[in-house]
């Protein structure tokens, strides 16, 4: 399972809570990953399996228990699936509260924006280029197949 990633806005929100040195920026893609502890759990997972930054947790954690399975960039529509294996494998992603559907939607949009930005960087194109949207969709679909293969 991969650790959650953050963009600049998410990093600032976490820093505003007083946390420092929580990133592992070793990824050559420039993505900022949250560090894992020695036992493999997230830097922010507390001993009681709660998230220390629950109110500002990254989009990938907010989206749980949904996963993005398709991105129809022609219609600007994101398709989600419920009850798939946790993307980050963390016990702290759910604190028992009911998440408004708008919050799930916002998290999904932010994640697609992150993948678009990363894809644009990889391809050396503007994020608004249609090839970037197309490749982003391909990446999401490939990820869906990877998850499906993990389940069987």
Q: Which is nearer to ligand SF4, 93 or 118 (CB)?
A: 93
Site string for ligand SF4, 89-128 (x = CB under 6 A): -x-xx-----------------------------------
Site string for ligand SF4, 58-77 (x = CB under 6 A): x--x----------------
Give Cα 50 to chain centroid, integer Å.
18
- What are the CA-CA distances from residue 9 to residues 57, 59, 94, 114, 136 (Å)? 11, 11, 22, 11, 21
Task: Specify the 3-state DSSP secondary structure of 108.
Answer: helix
Cis ω for the linkage preceding 65 (within 30 of 0): yes
Number of residues that bind ligand SF4 (CB under 6 A): 14
Residues engaged in binding ligand SF4 (CB under 6 A): 4, 34, 42, 44-45, 51, 53, 57-58, 61, 88, 90, 92-93
């Amino acid at each position: 399972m991969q650790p959650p990633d953050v963009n600049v806005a998410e990093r600032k929100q976490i820093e505003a809570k007083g946390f420092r040195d929580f990133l592992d920026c070793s990824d050559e893609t420039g993505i900022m990953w949250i560090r894992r502890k020695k036992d493999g759990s997230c830097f922010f997972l507390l001993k009681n399996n709660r998230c220390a930054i629950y109110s500002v947790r990254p989009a990938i954690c907010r989206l749980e228990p949904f996963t993005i399975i398709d991105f129809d960039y022609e219609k600007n529509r994101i398709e989600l699936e419920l009850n798939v294996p946790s993307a980050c494998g963390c016990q702290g992603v759910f604190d028992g509260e009911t998440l408004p559907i708008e919050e799930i939607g916002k998290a999904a949009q932010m994640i697609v924006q992150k993948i678009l930005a990363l894809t644009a960087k990889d391809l050396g194109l503007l994020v608004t280029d249609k090839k970037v949207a197309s490749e982003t969709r391909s990446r999401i679909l490939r990820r869906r197949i990877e998850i499906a293969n993990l389940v069987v």
